[in-house]
A and B are shown apart, each in its own frame.
Chain A
Amino acid sequence: MKKLLIILIILLLPGCYNYKELKDLSIVYSFSIDKKENEYILYVNTIKPGEEKNKIITNTGKGKTIMASARNINNSLDLNLLNSNLEYVLISKEIIKNDLNEVIDYLSRDTRLPFNFLIVTTDDNIDTINNYLTKTSLENLLKISSNKNGYTYLLDFKTLLHNYLSKEKETVYPTVNIEKDKITIGNLIYFNNKEEIKLSKEEALSFNIISNNIKNNLITIKCGNKYFSLEALKSKSKIKNNNLKTYIETKLVSYECDYDLNNINTIKLLENLASKEIKDNLYYTINNMKKDYIATKIKNIETNIKITKEGTLRGDLL
């Protein structure tokens, strides 16, 4: 009985230490990190529950190190921060170029931070973006766009850390910009020896195909003078012995070409057209990358586009 009591007491000792009242906590929504005049600026965007729905309050801290700036935030806070629900971290380009090391160190050191928040950068001033956060939910914007369009993708902290540590891979960053008084998705960028390189829309799509990020994206292909659109259903890319093999299952969603769809051979023709165009795009992208991404050693590319009968536009004709 004594032993049992001792075990119970030992087990219960850690208890009260962690007690929190929900109303004394401020829920952190996102971080923005910038550096100006040799000082880190950490913006912590918290959601204030209550009166106004989803009102985002930005608290700012400055310091010589990123940790110092984090501590300085406490000068303007009346609540404790609850970091566990961090959605994304917005990092300025300057930091990616020069001080990525410190930021990754800070983000990976704090055990209370989750590991799956998104990383995003911007062409604009970080201050400006922060002003627009109440209007637009940035992480939803990224999620929807990457799911539907394929010109951007979701970079989470885990991937960034993995790329950073492996030293072989260069990380491609999604960007957001202010356009017409709204936050919109910008081009993907990567850095080659501190030189910023932008990916065009075609290159971004190729990048997403290679890195298996295709979800429900739309691929528009030229047929003569007109176009047809395919919606991706399944995608799989594999790099083996310097060969890139891509298989994409699609459905036809928009069709303006002259070929007769009632003809069985037309679908094969469309598949070949799509395969060829995507293959050309992939070659173009790989050759275009100066310090190459994962595609450095790729020599041969094999693409296989399949148009499924099910769900195809005017499927009854086929």
Chain B
Amino acid sequence: MEKIVNKLYKLKETSPDLMIKKIKVNLFSYLYVASFETITSSDKINDFILKYISSKRIINTKKDIKNFIPSINYVDINKDETINYLLNGFTIIIYKNEVIAFETRADLDRGIASPQSEPSLRGPKEAFIENYQKNIGLIRKRIKSEKLIIDELNIGNKSKTKIGIIYLKNNNLASKVKEKINNINIDSIVDINYIKDFIDKDNHTLFPTVLYTEKADDAARFLLNNRVILISENSPSIAVLPTYFMDYFISSEDFYHKKFFSSFMRFIRFMAFILSITLPSFFISIINYDPEMIPFPLLINFSSQRINSPFPLIIEAFLLMITFELLYEGDSKTPEGRGTSLSVLGALVLGESSVKAGLISPIMVIVVSISSIASLIFTYHDIQGVIRFYRYFLMIISSLFGIIGLIIGIELLLLDISSITLFNKPYISSNLSLIKKEDK
């Protein structure tokens, strides 16, 4: 007993939030109560532990302590485990040579809120939060089946983060996923996004293969499609794998509308994808290499706009694109109250003044804005990275080689996207349901 108590007192020197109480239970013996104030609920400790210990007289045995302290979870633990339990929010009672741990964890999270990054007009508005148990609860609430299987692993040499692998029974992907996760060698996992690179090591592509969502209804939908879901402690989003190209064009909201409108919206999203990647490069290659293709009145119009601009078209495009990237990044990092001043500055001051100053032609502003707006309509943000990369790539190649360059660039894109295979299925597969007939 002395040993453990000494160890705790030593720990207190570096962790001031460690609370150690020495309570005299009878003439000759003491009882120690220890807990971390910051991660335990002091109400629970007062109501369930201290209140009883101070009022009752302990009669020497462990059994008595347990009897005095009603209706709270407890575990008998080894002396070596003491600190580990303390760090997990337990309150430790040391009496003679026995150690008992009572669960007195505090709720250190926000309540379930609506999704911030994937707002939805229709449908459930419950989003995952940083609490592992609540997140699983949100899924279980939607799939009330004993076939829902949860495997837990601890990853991270230092952080020992709990990772949950959730899938429906008979999912043959689960074992592969588990194997991949078991092989992860990393010091700590702060968020589920940390394990992205470890899962998809084989495909050297920019296209996203793991989807992150914070919507609980999305997670349930993917689970029912026989995907595997990864949940991590302290992470407000979950990872869905494998996800294919078409998954990024389908939003859970599509299922709450009539078929016709959902299909129309998917078509619009697909158009936006193509438009946002190719529009600036197409414009550059047409203006710089094949102005013959432009109808006469439009050509005069373009020509009169370009007459005073000092830069080549590609420089103009890059100036605008980079300005937009800065605005985009600035906007995402600005607190809500100051966002308006940023948009006024961006739209009015930069947009209009740069045209008036003759730095940039108005038509280029239109082209860049259309392409940028089109890239913003996707619910899942991971695909925006690909769009940006290919947009810049195509812009450079088409400014150097015109329409031929653009076509070759698009071919490279197709080559990239069609060479990905995920769990033995091509990435551009349109059949998204992974349920096999016999599993139904």
Which residues from chain A sit less than 8 Å from chain B, CB to CB?
Answer: 8, 11-12, 14-16, 18-23, 25, 27, 47, 49-50, 54, 82, 84-85, 87, 112
CB distance from A227 to the nearest CB of B (A): 40
Instruction: From the candidates A15, A20, A50, name the one contacting B291 in the complex (CB within 8 A).
Output: A20
B400 proximal to A (CB < 8 A): yes
B window 276-328: CB within 8 A of A: 287-292, 295-296, 299-304, 306-309, 312-313
Cβ–Cβ contact B405 & A12, under 8 A: yes
- How far is A22 from B292 in the complex, measured between Cα atoms in Å? 11
Cβ–Cβ contact A84 & B292, under 8 A: yes
11 residue pairs A–B, Cβ–Cβ below 8 Å? A11-B408, A12-B404, A12-B405, A15-B400, A15-B404, A19-B288, A20-B288, A22-B313, A23-B303, A25-B303, A47-B300
Instruction: From the candidates B295, B303, B400, B405, name the one contacting A22 in the complex (CB within 8 A).
Output: B303
Instruction: From the candidates A15, A18, A50, name the one contacting B304 in the complex (CB within 8 A).
Output: A50
Cβ–Cβ contact A22 & B401, under 8 A: no
Cβ–Cβ contact B307 & A50, under 8 A: yes
Task: For A49, list chain B residues within 8 Å (CB).
Answer: 300-301, 303-304, 307
Task: For A84, list chain B residues within 8 Å (CB).
Answer: 291-292
Task: For A27, list chain B residues within 8 Å (CB).
Answer: 296, 299-300, 303
Instruction: From the candidates B296, B304, B308, name the one contacting A87 in the complex (CB within 8 A).
Output: B296
CB distance from A1 to the nearest CB of B (A): 13
Instruction: From the candidates B289, B300, B400, B404, name the one contacting A20 in the complex (CB within 8 A).
Output: B289
- How far is A12 from B302 in the complex, measured between Cα atoms in Å? 27
B402 proximal to A (CB < 8 A): yes
- How far is A27 from B303 in the complex, measured between Cα atoms in Å? 9
Question: Assuming A8-B408, A25-B303, A49-B303, is B289 touching A19 (CB within 8 A)?
Answer: yes
Question: Assuming A25-B291, A27-B299, is B402 touching A18 (CB within 8 A)?
Answer: yes
Task: For A22, list chain B residues within 8 Å (CB).
Answer: 287-288, 291, 302-303, 306, 313
Cβ–Cβ contact B400 & A11, under 8 A: no
CB distance from B168 to the nearest CB of A (A): 43
- How far is A298 from B308 in the complex, measured between Cα atoms in Å? 61
Question: Assuming A15-B400, A23-B309, is B288 touching A85 (CB within 8 A)?
Answer: no
- How far is A297 from B71 in the complex, measured between Cα atoms in Å? 116
Closest 3 CB pairs of A and B: A15-B401, A49-B304, A84-B292
Cβ–Cβ contact A15 & B405, under 8 A: yes
Interface centre among B309, B312, B404 (most CB of A within 10 A): B404
Task: For A47, list chain B residues within 8 Å (CB).
Answer: 300
- How far is A91 from B306 in the complex, measured between Cα atoms in Å? 33
Known: A12-B405, A20-B291, A49-B300. 14 other contacts (CB 8 A): A11-B408, A15-B404, A20-B288, A20-B289, A21-B288, A22-B287, A22-B288, A27-B300, A49-B301, A49-B304, A50-B308, A82-B299, A85-B296, A112-B292
CB distance from A117 to the nearest CB of B (A): 11
Cβ–Cβ contact A16 & B401, under 8 A: yes
For residue A114, which residue of chain B has the nearest CB? B292
Interface centre among B303, B402, B408 (most CB of A within 10 A): B303
Task: For A87, list chain B residues within 8 Å (CB).
Answer: 296
For residue B294, which residue of chain A has the nearest CB? A85
- How far is A22 from B312 in the complex, measured between Cα atoms in Å? 10
Cβ–Cβ contact A12 & B288, under 8 A: no
Task: For B313, list chain A residues within 8 Å (CB).
Answer: 21-22
Question: Assuming A27-B300, A47-B300, A49-B300, is B404 touching A14 (CB within 8 A)?
Answer: yes
